[in-house]
Structure 1
Amino acid sequence: MAQQTEQQPKDRTGRKAADDRGTGTVQRPGDAAGTDQRRVRDSVLVLAIARRELAQQLTNKAFWMSVAITAIMMAVTFGATSYFQSGGGERPSVALAGEQSALAPVLRPHADVSTASDADAARAAVRDGKADAAVIDGQGGIVVQRELPEELGRLLQEAHRAVVLDASLRGHGLTAAEAAEAAAVPPLATTTLDPDAVRTIQRTTTAATAVFILFMLMLVSGLAVAQGVAEEKSSRIAEVLLAKVRARHLLAGKIVGLGASALVQILVLATACLGAAVAFGLFEAPADAVGAGLNVLVWFVPGYILFVTLYAVAGSLVSRPEDVNHVVGPVNGIQMLGLIGPGLALAGTTDSATVEILSLVPGVSWAAMPVRMAYEDVPWWQIGTAFGLMLVTAVVLIRLGGRVYAGGLLQHGGIVKVKDALRGARL
């Protein structure tokens, strides 16, 4: 019995030491069950914290107001884009004076035509806004108030050329039918080397637009996370929470909860944007747009985890919420680099080596790679490498950031240095 009494504490001590150190000691019966129980307990804690964060976001009126305002702004933007692409929805108006009324039959299919009694009346119509342009006999030519729109100018010049050519041909004895036949020039046939060019542009534009929207969402969410962590630290709420849960559980719960709330925002905004784009006829192939958007969302997940972790860590380093802006600058700078790839793609610089390099760099690839995939066939190994590096970076950052987060929350008095936070970490 005495031997058993001495052996039992040694067993318990041995198991505890193995758990804390993570060494390769021989696993005793019951250790596996204990490990499983700890994993279940850890998961329950993380989910509980995540539910708390999610509930706070979903019950916040400002959260829904920002979602609604952003959705309305995107719908209005798509509507305005469709309106201006269609030429503003209005036909141009033209006033004709004197013999220039011969232009009327040529112009009427494309513009609203009115006839003025003389040159002064035609100029007055333009001056009063009743006509966008006037065509006057002699040296009067085309009269506009400020600037002649390019499309309207082309229309007037072609109509004038057609009327003059018709008059010249008929002056040489040709009938109206013969003059029309002689003036008819068959158009040149067009061969498209890239028949999918329109769909490629659509996919690229959709992917880049999605990246910009998610970038703003990530930026706003990240700043809110940093501010929230700083407020919890300054009010000592963080110390109360750390007395009940470990720092890594608190950090993981925040990431999961805020990620879920971000997903809600994304779904609402994506539905509004896609619905508006389809309704206004901006997408020739909606399936391509949906595919490009979903691909961006897949890449957004590890990027979001990475940056939210950085923002949470940054918030834990300050003692006052007012100091948050002093520590989030480097995070904002790294995040801004992600916009270079989509920006170059929209500018037409799709063959740039810069885009290829950026699409492989962790922290930047979440934005560059899906846009690159939208306009070209990317080798599978580059896709796998970029995504794998993002995941590895996120995992490493969570572990390292968890230590900084833990050490930073418990230290007060100004901005805590990262090395001091690591030294004071208690995980």
Structure 2
Amino acid sequence: MSTTTAPAPAPTRQRPEATLSAPQGVWLVAEREIGGKLRSRSFLISTAILLLLALAGVLWMGFQAGSAGTTQIAATSDVAAELPDADGLEVTPIADRSEAEALVSDGTVEAALLADPASPTGVLIIAEQEAPDALVSLLSVAPTIELLDPEADDEGPMRYILGIIFGVVFMGAAITFGSPITMSVIEEKQTRVIEILISAIPARVLLAGKVLGNAILAIGQILLLITVAVIGLVVTGQTDVLQGLGTPIVWFAVFFLFGFLLLAAMFAAAGSLVSRQEDSGPTLTPVMWLTMIPYFLVLFLGENPVAMAIMSYVPFSAPVAMPIRLFFGDAMWWEPLVSLAIMLATCLVVIALGAKIYENSLLRMGARVKLSEALKG
């Protein structure tokens, strides 16, 4: 009885599993974040409204600056020759009083000036109902004034305006692109999607992709705002303002980038500590305060040189305080470099801590994870 042996099965080739490298995974998640935002109609509409408001604000300030203080007056040749030099006056020559009254009556000029020996200033103002305040102030007799710091009075309002501009842009962009990171993390935990994502890519790669995607969107929006502001300043002829703001705006963009990365890691870590959006308040509030406090400090302490110098080295307030100090020449050339180095070091530490909290808390469902437990792992 013969036995036959079955032929051995041919070896099968195993297809290698496709794996993503860390950079590929980061960019894949970043593309997902960017694509989701760009497909959102509310995000596109809000961005367009923001750009229009910025352009309208710059144009309005330019037109106001161009028209503010311009007073249409008429004056005889002898009075016009004695008028002090002033950019805010546009003088129409007249011959006599009858011509002056005619121009004032029909609204061609706001007031007319005639020689009057009986007046203390030697000039008579003819107006319809009320003499222009700017003209009265110009012709008033005032004592001689000597200022020890003539530029100090002009800096106060400008410091306040710059504080509002830089502060609102930084705070608004950080909240607009940072808080959705928190909500996205919570939603992924709540729907258990995070378990599928973690099975494909590491938690740190997922965190890096979320931060990178939102950082690209935030920087893109900042660049659009800068472009719109530059166009508005050029159109309205405010080139002197543009030249003064050039260097501070560049430094603001650099500080904003690293400041946003710092805050974005904190927003993501805050979201990983909870499993429901209703529980996000206690974890999200500290990050929101760190985002808003620098704005209010710069507004309230903007004229205090010591406070501004300190805030320009604190990572959370440096993106607002340092550009303002650079605009007014209060900072030495090396100060922004030192401040940026401090911010980079802080950014690395906070991102490392945020990544640890994110990684240790991401798969923990139910009650809110305590910060100490998340740090221990």
TM range (shorter): 0.7 to 0.9
Measured in 2, the distance between the counterparts of 1:382 and 1:290 equals 17
CA displacement 1:250-279 (0-9 Å, x = unmatched): 111101111111122122111111111111
For residues 336-347 of structure 1, the aligned pairs below 5 Å read 336-339=292-295, 342-343=298-299
Q: Structure 2 vs 1, CA of residues 194 and 233 (structure 1 numbering), >3 Å: closer, same or farther?
A: same
The structure 2 residue matched to 1:56, chosen from 7, 20, 36, is: 36
Q: Structure 2 vs 1, CA of residues 80 and 379 (structure 1 numbering), >3 Å: closer, same or farther?
A: closer
Which residue of structure 2 lines up, in the alignment, with residue 74 of structure 1?
54
Which protein has the larger Cα radius of gyration, Structure 1 or Structure 2? Answer: 1
The answer to whether residue 272 in structure 2 is matched with residue 272 in structure 1 is: no
The structure 1 residue matched to 2:133, chosen from 121, 142, 150, is: 150
For residues 239-318 of structure 1, the aligned pairs below 5 Å read 239-284=195-240, 286-318=242-274
- Decide whether the 8 Å contact of 1:316 with 1:405 is kept in 2: yes
- Decide whether the 8 Å contact of 1:206 with 1:289 is kept in 2: no
Measured in 1, the distance between the counterparts of 2:32 and 2:354 equals 21
TM-score norm. by structure 2 comes to: 0.72
Q: How many residues align?
A: 339
- Decide whether the 8 Å contact of 2:252 with 2:323 is kept in 1: yes
Q: Structure 2 vs 1, CA of residues 354 and 348 (structure 1 numbering), >3 Å: closer, same or farther?
A: closer
Measured in 2, the distance between the counterparts of 1:376 and 1:268 equals 26
Computed over aligned residues only, the root mean square deviation of the Cα atoms, in angstroms, reads 4.6
- Decide whether the 8 Å contact of 1:58 with 1:64 is kept in 2: yes
Which residue of structure 2 lines up, in the alignment, with residue 416 of structure 1?
369
Q: Structure 2 vs 1, CA of residues 416 and 399 (structure 1 numbering), >3 Å: closer, same or farther?
A: same
Unaligned runs of 5+ in 2: 1-18, 84-88, 119-124
Q: Structure 2 vs 1, CA of residues 250 and 144 (structure 1 numbering), >3 Å: closer, same or farther?
A: farther
- Decide whether the 8 Å contact of 1:203 with 1:289 is kept in 2: no
Q: Which range moves more in the overlay, 287-296 or 67-76?
A: 287-296
What one-letter code is carried by the residue in structure 2 that aligns with 1:79? L
- Decide whether the 8 Å contact of 2:29 with 2:210 is kept in 1: yes
Offset of residue 102 of structure 1: 7.8
Offset of residue 376 of structure 1: 2.5
State the percentage of identical aligned residues.
27
- Decide whether the 8 Å contact of 1:306 with 1:394 is kept in 2: yes
Measured in 1, the distance between the counterparts of 2:333 and 2:103 equals 65
Measured in 1, the distance between the counterparts of 2:206 and 2:370 equals 21
For residues 335-414 of structure 1, the aligned pairs below 5 Å read 335-339=291-295, 342-343=298-299, 348-349=303-304, 352-376=305-329, 378-379=331-332, 382-414=335-367
What one-letter code is carried by the residue in structure 2 that aligns with 1:154? S
3-state SS of paired residue (1:401): helix
Q: Structure 2 vs 1, CA of residues 53 and 191 (structure 1 numbering), >3 Å: closer, same or farther?
A: same
3-state SS of paired residue (2:368): coil
- Decide whether the 8 Å contact of 1:203 with 1:288 is kept in 2: no
Q: Which range moves more in the overlay, 274-283 or 361-370?
A: 361-370
Q: Structure 2 vs 1, CA of residues 406 and 379 (structure 1 numbering), >3 Å: closer, same or farther?
A: same
Measured in 2, the distance between the counterparts of 1:386 and 1:80 equals 34
Offset of residue 308 of structure 1: 0.9
What one-letter code is carried by the residue in structure 1 that aligns with 2:38? L
Which residue of structure 1 lines up, in the alignment, with residue 65 of structure 2?
85
For residues 142-291 of structure 1, the aligned pairs below 5 Å read 150-154=133-137, 157=139, 209-284=165-240, 286-291=242-247
Measured in 1, the distance between the counterparts of 2:93 and 2:274 equals 66
CA displacement 1:100-157 (0-9 Å, x = unmatched): x9899759944799x899x9x999x79xx9996799x99xx98887x875314335x4
Offset of residue 224 of structure 1: 1.9
Offset of residue 337 of structure 1: 3.1
- Decide whether the 8 Å contact of 1:299 with 1:370 is kept in 2: no
Unaligned runs of 5+ in 1: 1-37, 95-100, 162-187
TM-score norm. by structure 1 comes to: 0.64
